[in-house]
Amino acid sequence: MSDMARRDLSALKATASSALEVARKLGATQAEVSTSRGAGLSVTARMRDVETLEYHRDQGMSVTVYFGQQKGSASTSDLDAAAVEESVAKACALARYAAKDPFAGLAAPERLAAGVPDLDLYHPWDVEPAQAIELALACEAAGLDFDPRINNSEGATVSTHEGVRVYGNSHGFLAGYPSSQHSLSCAVLASADGPMERDFEYSVARHADDLLAPELIGAEAARRATRRLGARKLDTATVPVLYPARLARSLFGHLIGAISGGNLYRKASFLTDAMDKKIFADTISIIEQPHIPRALSSAPFDDEGVATVDRTLIEDGHLRGYVLGSYYARKLGLESTANAGGIHNLVVSNTGEDFDQLLVDLDRGLLVTELMGQGVNTLTGDYSRGAAGFWVEQGEIQFPVSEITVAGNLSDMYQQIRAVGTDVDRRGGIRTGSVLVDGMTVAGN
């Protein structure tokens, strides 16, 4: 941990402790505080010139107090003692006017993290603006120079951020840790006697050494864009659809929405009352692993201080776990799953095939490379999204396609997953390989 991070951690803990003490003096029966401080640099190069150069530093505190079953919250970006005290006082004033909620309150004290394991999340990148500019220009140049049909760019961006977060509550919990995240991305456009096509590539990591080389990112963005030129429409058909790994995570993202506390309590989910039922193909298992070193969604505790642990959500196709914070867990008569604030590294099992083998297994159908729109109904499971990609015959890509829609119902789609690849994409909170789904409707002409 750097000296700056150590100082920030100490200062943020002191601020949180002060806020909790003010809440106690003002009569709050319970209170919780989150404090944070971060800084970063972002550079964007477009058409071989610097477009933006930004440095940012931010800080903040949010406080929630409880007077019995009444709750009030406030936040501030000013961490001076007077501003902290004023924010806590405002939260207390709001709580006195709030309706009573029997499910309001802190997480159970016995569930709080006993310590903060080192998950290797903090690797600051001392990149100078001139160096960041050089990287962004090199990344975009690799895309622009890849093919003469690349004639425009949305730019290449280098971004770095490091920060510290602290959480404390009146149960005596007070802990925090630093983290970092760095990224490099590029998006370019191609045209050749027809509509212009766009595509992108990116790399993101906790440690700058784990980023892909800028030349590889720019060239891959250009390769993707040029491959889409000459796209055709398709006749409507029912065929298998192959989701590459970078899009496949969205399929499991819809699962998380359907098994999250708010939707379950409101019965606004197609998976209401589905616990222990078979909702996926037998070959699918999904586990949550919050403590993977350097992973982008690793965390020692959730936003309520509840200790994160490895657990199973899907076992051989059967639903074994929900995604709950304390509030909706109480409403459902259950316990928190340490997911206040989100999930922590979902890992989807694979069936052993690499991407090329999945194409062979697809045989005749659609390889989707872009999804558009938000056409997913969590209540019914209905799924319909605009798409683009490639038509596949006899396991080989034939031509690009666009202006199509892929549709189905998630209940059926999950059961009809034929295979999950070994080509795992680790650039997010859901780690999965490419996914081959049978029997989807591809709507075109």
Please write the tens of the pLDDT for every residue from 52-108. 999 999 999 999 999 999 999 999 999 999 999 999 999 999 999 999 999 999 999
Query: What pLDDT sits at residue 403?
Result: 93
Question: pTM of the prediction?
Answer: 0.92
Query: Which residue type does 385 have?
Result: R
- How many other β-carbons are positioned within 10 Å of the β-carbon of residue 283? 15
Q: What is the average pLDDT across 208-220? A: 97
What's the number of CA atoms in the CB half-sphere (13 Å) around residue 24?
A: 10
Average pLDDT along the chain: 96
pLDDT tens, position by position, 142-151: 999 999 999 9
Residue 374 has pLDDT above 90, yes or no: no
Residue ranges of domains in the chain:
3-227, 237-443
pLDDT tens, position by position, 337-360: 999 999 999 999 999 999 999 999
- How many other β-carbons are positioned within 10 Å of the β-carbon of residue 201? 24
Residue 288 has pLDDT above 90, yes or no: yes
Token pair in block for residue 238: 């029912």
Query: What pLDDT sits at residue 75?
Result: 97
Query: What pLDDT sits at residue 5?
Result: 84
pLDDT tens, position by position, 161-203: 999 999 999 999 999 999 999 999 999 999 988 789 999 999 9
Q: Is 352 helix (H, G, I), strand (E, B) or coil?
A: coil
Q: Is 415 helix (H, G, I), strand (E, B) or coil?
A: helix
Q: What is the average pLDDT across 318-325? A: 97
The DSSP element (H or E) to which 179 belongs, if any, is: strand 174-190
pLDDT tens, position by position, 381-432: 999 999 999 999 999 999 999 999 999 999 999 999 999 999 999 999 999 9
Q: State what percent of residues in the chain have pLDDT above 90.
A: 96
Nearest to 411 by CA among 363, 365, 361, 376: 376
Query: What pLDDT sits at residue 376?
Result: 94
Cβ contacts of residue 110 below 8 Å, gap of 6+?
A: none
Phi, psi angles (nearest 5°) of residue 363:
65, -80
pLDDT tens, position by position, 256-278: 999 999 999 999 999 999 999 99
Residue 157 has pLDDT above 80, yes or no: yes
Query: What pLDDT sits at residue 194?
Result: 75
CATH number of 3-227: 3.30.2290.10
Query: What pLDDT sits at residue 274?
Result: 96
